[in-house]
Amino acid sequence: MSESRSSNEERKLELTSRIVAAYLSRNVVAAGDLTNLIQQTYSSLSGTSSRHQAEPAVEEQRPAVPIKKSVTADFIICLEDGEKFKSLKRHLMAKYGLTPEQYRAKWALPADYPMIATNYAQQRSELARASGLGKNRRHQRERRHLPLARKSD
């Protein structure tokens, strides 16, 4: 175990020296900055550079509009970007890769938070009823006393 560790360390030192030498062949570095350059290069190869310094501070994302104002009868406002939609589901998946469940969880929304504007849902429902969707067509024929078309053998 220690042999592989020491050979691994030797490999990192060799790579560090090659990288720093290549960098110095094309760039001018002050003598005081050379030590820092070597340490940063070695740390990067080792994966020991402090993660919290490398990653930018993640701020808590705030909704584009207040949650209470995001739902109206005519449209739903996306909390991610503030855009208005009649139906939010497709936008969330296309732009952010979020399902409605993930969106609700991200923003701590209730399970019954709508993804479709109320008036739009009503229009679609009326259109479906007018076209006869949801009705059993067999019962409609029987009520009209029309025989069912049968295939002949």
What are the pLDDT digits (tens) for 80-134?
Answer: 999 999 999 999 999 999 999 999 999 999 999 999 999 999 999 999 999 888 7
Indicate if 65 and 135 belong to the same structural domain.
yes
Indicate if 74 and 130 belong to the same structural domain.
yes
The pLDDT value given to residue 105: 94
Indicate if 74 and 114 belong to the same structural domain.
yes
For residue 26, what are the domain limits?
Answer: 2-54
Q: pTM of the predicted model, to two decimals? A: 0.51
| In a domain? residue 153 | no
| In a domain? residue 101 | yes
The dihedral formed by the CA atoms of 118, 119, 123 and 129, expressed in degrees to the nearest 10: 50
Distances (CA, A) of 77 to 89, 99, 123: 12, 16, 19
Indicate if 63 and 137 belong to the same structural domain.
yes
Indicate if 89 and 126 belong to the same structural domain.
yes
Quickly state the pLDDT bin for 48 (edges 50, 70, 90): low
Residue matched to tokens 């007018």: 130
**Which residues, including other chains, have CB under 8 Å from residue 138's CB and lie 6 or more apart?**
148
Structural domains of the chain, count:
2
